[in-house]
Structures are given as C-alpha cells and as structure tokens.
Amino acid sequence: MKKTEKVEFITETLEKLYPRTPIPLDHTDPYTLLISVLLSAQTTDKMVNRVTPDLFKKGPNAKAMARLATDEIREIIKPVGLSPTKSKAIKKLSEILIDKFDGKVPATFKELESLPGVGHKTASVVMAQAFGVPAFPVDTHIHRLMYRWGLTNGKNVTQTEKDAKRLFPKELWNKLHLQIIFFGREYCPARSHNFESCPLCRVVGRKSLVK
C-alpha cells in the first residue's frame, strides 16, 4: 500500500472512530492549558487533571501563580512527578508572563519556547489547542504509531513530526494528532499489541515494523 493510500485510510478510519476530539487536559484558558501541558511530561493526563483543580484554585492566572511560593506549588503537584523542576518552571514562567507579556500567554512558537519548561511539543499543543494554529505535537503514541504504520523511520520525534506534516493535510493536523493519541490509547498500546485485531495496523502496518 502506498503512503498516500495509507494516509487516506488512516484519516477516514480515525474520523469514523473519533468524530469529536475533546482536549484531554482540563483547562479554562491558554494559561491553564500551558501549565497543564507542562505538568503532563512523563505522567498521565488523568494524573494532571487530579492535581490542577487545587493548583488553579490558588493560581488561576500568571499573577496569582507568581505570588505562590515554589514550595507551595511543588507540594500541590507532587503526585505528577518531577515536582522540583516543574514547580520552578511554573513559578518562573508566570513571572516572565507578567514582566514581558502582560500576564498573557504569547501566541508564537518562538516566544512560547523561550519560557522555562516549555519545549517544542508543549508549545505545539498550546498553539494548536489554545490558538488554533496548525501544529502537529508528537507524543509517544504518535511517534510509535507513525512508525508502526511505516510512515516514518522512527529515529526521533523531530523526524516523525516532519514526516507527519509532510504526509497529512495541514487542515487536519490539530484534530488528527488528538485522534491518533486516542487511537493509540484504545487500540494500539506499546505492549501486548494485537496486530491482527488493530483496526489500522492490520491494514496499513507491517508486522516487521511493530515495536
């Protein structure tokens, strides 16, 4: 099957399975989304959603968050892991938002990636989900599935993102990256994956590429 045929089948199948793509991280605005995405590194969305109600009750915006002590932030977010690093980043980026951006989350990749704790993937999620700018954030699910489907060589997430943007129509990126994440969680796990019963791998994948 040619890559163009794979892309067509994948997008059609995912649209049937996930016509609606609610954002998995609970948030109310670009700021709370940014903090939630930052917290989601090396943990689950479910865990993040458990700690953010208490965090955002005390720090619903950059100004309020900057007033909190780093130790107070750390104590609240401890269950998500990496709390020493994440609490410092949250405190510092909130101060920077106040000093440089009038307390608002900037809507450019360059400015977002200049903030502490904000890498390209986090910036991509915020640009796509908060501001509607076409982006294709690559997490472990997308990286794994793009490789299983033979759409990338799987060397690194940077290459996977380039391949995804090259293959899939730009107007689908923001919805599609969520659809792939949902699919990976439901049908295509990293371990104990059933190739023959997977709605996509059994058609567009190759067993030699499953890992």
The per-residue pLDDT for range 44-100, each reduced to its tens digit, is 999 999 999 999 999 999 999 999 999 999 999 999 999 999 999 999 999 999 999
Q: Give the CATH number, domain containing residue 202.
A: 1.10.1670.10
* Residue 169 and residue 112 share a domain: no
Burial class (CB in 10 A: 0-12, 13-18, 19+), 123: buried
Q: Which of 88, 103, 129 is the last residue in one of the domains?
A: 129
The rounded distance, in Å, linking the Cα atoms of 176 and 76 is 33
The Cα 82–Cα 37 span in angstroms is: 14
Which among 129, 150, 170 is the end of a domain?
129
| Whether residue 36 is found in the same domain as residue 125 | yes
pLDDT reported for residue 207: 57
For residues 59 and 94, the answer to whether their CB atoms sit within 8 Å is: yes
Greater model confidence, 195 or 162:
162
Q: Residue 177: which residues within 8 A CB-CB, separation 6 or more?
A: 128, 135, 136, 137, 138, 142, 164
> Would you call 99 exposed, middle or buried from its count of C-beta atoms within 10 A (0-12, 13-18, 19+)?
exposed
Transcribe 157-196 into DSSP letters: HHHHHHHHHHHS-GGGHHHHHHHHHHHHHHT--SSS--TT
Residues 10 and 75 in one domain: no
Structure tokens at 56: 């955002």
Active site residues: 121, 139
Residue 11 has pLDDT above 80, yes or no: yes
Assess whether 106 and 191 both reside in one domain: no
157 shares a domain with 205: yes
**Residue at 159: amino acid letter:** Q
Residues 99 and 147 placed together within one structural domain of the fold: no
Q: Which residue range(s) make up the domain with 13?
A: 3-21+136-209
Q: State how far the Cα of 25 lies from the Cα of 37, in Å rounded to an integer.
A: 7
